[in-house]
Amino acid sequence: MVVQVLAAPTAVVGQQSHASRRSVLGAGSLALGHLVNDSYAYILPPLLPLLLTQSGLTLGMGAALVAIQQLASAFLQPMFGHWADRTGEGRWMPWTGVLLSGCGAAALGLVPGFGGLGLAMLATGVGSALFHPVSAALVAQAAPTHQRGFWMSAYISAGNLGLGVGPLLVGLVLVGGSLHGTWLLAIPAVIAACLMWWLAPKRPGPHGRHTTSLYGILKANWRILGMLIGVVALRSWASTTLVTFLPTLATQAGAAATEAAQVLTVFLISGALGGFVGGAAADKLGRDQVVIGSLLLSVPFGLYLAFQDQFGPSFWIAAAGSGFFLNGSWISLTVRGQESVPGSIAMMSGLMLGLSVGLGGIAVTPFGIIAEHYGLPVVIGLTATLPVLGAVLMRFVPKPGDVRSAGVEARTVRC
């Protein structure tokens, strides 16, 4: 009897330990998939010089191809996420999505003409839209509640790392200035897809949400969704504007071309680190506190960049600080969205991640026009103050326990 009593708890502990290891491996496979998938996000720009000469493209066509990819990715994500929430299915989406992204990137050097290239870029956009909502939801659901920010930080930071890996992959497959080696770009996608098919955790089911339409969810949660999207938009406009114009701003301040490119690298790497730190800190300090604090702390660094006319060590520090704090709120915002509409975690993941890309891209063109008339420092100074508005708006976002989602009361979570 004593042996049986002792053996039962031991068996339970062993099962829990195995489940924990399985969750870590599953989340790790999804983080790897995120790195690979997002490495295809900026795959066209390093290929564009060769495509201009070998495929007869114009710069306008190249811009249109980027738009096809980004718009498909940004605005399909919430719909794919909602479908997965309604059905309780979708475990196939991450590995199918990364395969589609990889195949689209691999085809860029093989397909003829603008039409073929457009289909290839559409495939990468749709693949990314398939990948993100469910993979983010699976990581969040597998994570212990008190460590959700940390787990999501690891997952999203892997994607941020992938953004910089893509151009490096292109350099490895372009042999002798030929595009025929782009088929090799599919290999990482195949490996990542196999690992996710094997290790990714299962979805827990729709939790009674299968009869609720997307319109019904948006209507029931319009207030919290509108405010969260507003915060996401303000953060994305500031971040995307800096990513686009920071090298030019550095050049105007006296930096060499190579130094200007390195400043952007510092900004992006600091942003990846800031996202990881911010997401982990939110587990202890609260989601809203981290979002508000990081947005406000980014402002002085952005303003310094706008009005600093001499390139030097302080310029590097300001670029690093701006990237760190601007991105420090991104992961906390994503987790906040996931927790704010229970039962729609995949839809909210797609909404928060997709809109961060789509809304940021929309704002760059008008800010560029303003810069042509009033100068780049004015635009950087203007966008540097946008996080203040985001922080104020975040202060009024309803707590998850204060809203009802499609007739189901949200559970109270710490924010």
Q: Is the pLDDT of residue 169 over 50?
A: yes
Would the pTM of this model clear 0.95, i.e. be above it? no
CA distance 353 to 135: 11
The pLDDT of residue 293 is 96
Tens of pLDDT, residue by residue over 66-99, are 778 878 888 898 889 888 888 877 889 999 999 9
Residue 357, pLDDT score: 67
Residue count (the chain): 415
What tokens appear for 202 in the block?
């299962």
Rounded to an integer, the average pLDDT of 250-273 is 84
pLDDT of residue 406: 38
328's tokens: 């420090």
- Range from 198-207, 238-247, 284-293, 371-380 carrying the lowest mean pLDDT: 198-207
d(CA 337, CA 113): 41
| Residue 31: predicted pLDDT | 95
pLDDT for 403 equals 46
- For the CA atoms of 188, 267, 151, 30, what is the dihedral angle to 10 degrees? -10
pLDDT of 211: 53
Residue 150 has pLDDT above 60, yes or no: yes
In the three-class reduction of DSSP (H, G, I as helix; E, B as strand; rest coil), residue 408 is classed as strand
Per-residue pLDDT at 204: 63
- pLDDT tens digits for 25-41? 999 999 999 999 999 98
Share of the chain above pLDDT 90, in %: 32
Percentage of the chain with pLDDT > 70? Answer: 87
H helix runs in 200-329, sequence order: 214-220, 222-252, 257-285, 287-307, 313-328
Q: What is the 3-state secondary structure (H, E, C) of 154-177?
A: HHHHHHHHHHHHHHHHHHHHCCCC
What pLDDT score does 177 carry?
67
Which residue from 342, 332, 102, 139 is spatially nearest to 235, judged by alpha carbons? 332
Spatial contact of 147 and 281, defined as CB atoms under 8 Å apart: no
Which pLDDT value is given to residue 89?
76
Which of helix, strand or coil describes residue 385? coil
Tokens representing 263 are: 């400043």
- Please write the tens of the pLDDT for every residue from 95-113: 999 999 999 999 998 998 8
Cβ-contact 90, 77 below 8 angstroms? no
The residue among 321 and 342 whose pLDDT is bigger is 321
User: Is the pLDDT score of 340 beyond 70?
Assistant: yes
Statement: residue 14 has pLDDT above 70: no
Q: What would the pLDDT profile of 283-310 be if each residue is shown by its tens digit? A: 889 989 999 999 999 999 999 999 888 8
Which DSSP state fits 43? -
Extract the tokens encoding 320.
């690093």
CA distances, 333 to each of 16, 115, 275, 329, 380 (Å): 30, 37, 10, 6, 23
CA gap 367, 248 in Å, rounded: 14
The residue with greater pLDDT, 79 or 412, is 79
Cβ–Cβ under 8 Å, residues 318 and 308 = yes
Residues 6+ apart with CB under 8 A from 355: 74, 229, 232, 233, 236
For 190-203, letters b (16+ CB in 10 Å) and e give bebbebbeebbbeb
Structural domains present in the chain:
26-211 (1.20.1250.20), 215-409 (1.20.1250.20)
Please state, in angstroms and rounded to a whole number, the distance separating the CA atoms of residues 130 and 147: 25
Cβ contact 302:239 at 8 Å: no
Position 407 pLDDT exceeds 50: no
For residue 301, the SS3 value is helix
Beta-carbon neighbour count of residue 18 at 10 Å? 10
**Mean pLDDT, the chain, integer:** 83
Q: How confident is the model at residue 175 (pLDDT cuts 50, 70, 90)?
A: low
Strongest mean pLDDT among 162-171, 191-200, 233-242: 191-200
Evaluate if residue 257 carries a pLDDT over 50. yes
Q: 402 pLDDT band (50/70/90 cuts)?
A: low
Q: 124: closest CA among 107, 102, 108? A: 102
Other CB atoms within 10 A of residue 350 CB = 32
